[in-house]
Amino acid sequence: MSQRYFEDIANDDELEPLERLPTEDKAVEFFGRDNPTNPAFGDAEAGRRMGFGGALVPGLLKLSWITNYVGAWAGPEASLRSVRVAFRRPDIAGKPLVLAGRVVDKRQEDGANVVELEVVTLADDQPTVRGNVQVEIPSRP
C-alpha cells in the first residue's frame, strides 16, 4: 500500500477499476453468521420471492467496499472524512461488480488537504451505487 500526496493529485485523475464478486456467503459472513439479517441476503429464493432475480447484495457491503477502495488508493497516512452513497438499483449475488472512481475536487480547508472523489459500482456497465467520498491527504514531505 503506497502513500499518495496532495500535490500529485489532479482533478479528473481516475482510480484503477477494481472487480469484486459478491456472493451469498460473503453477504452472510459480512454481518456474521450469528447475526440475524435480511433473509434475502443469503438466500436466492427469498430474494426471488421479494421480486428480485436472486439473493441481494447488502448495501452496507458495497459501501464498505467503496470505503476500502478509496482508502487503499489514498494510502495509510490519509484520513477518511466522509462517504455518502445512493443505492440506485439492487445488485444480485454472483454477478461481478466493478468499482471505479475519479477525483472531482481538491482544496485546502482549515489547513487540511481535502480531496473529493466520485465513486460508482457498476454491474454490466450500469451504475448500481453512486457515491462521493472526502478524504484528507497529506502534503509531500
C-beta closer to other proteins: residue 21 or 107: 21
| Residue 127 in contact with other proteins, rule: CB under 8 A | no
* Contact code string over 34-53 relative to other proteins, x by CB under 8 A: -x------------------
The DSSP string of the chain is: -----GGG--TT-EEEEEEE---HHHHHHHH-TTS---GGGT-HHHHHHTTSSSSBPPHHHHHHHHHHHHHHHH-TT-EEEEEEEEE-S--BTTS-EEEEEEEEEEEEETTEEEEEEEEEEEETTEEEEEEEEEEE-PPP-
Figure out which of the listed residues 59, 94, 127, 138 binds other proteins, where binding follows CB under 8 A: 59
C-beta closer to other proteins: residue 12 or 82: 82
Residues 63-122 that bind other proteins (CB under 8 A): 63-65, 67-68, 71-72, 76, 79-87
| Residue 32 in contact with other proteins, rule: CB under 8 A | yes
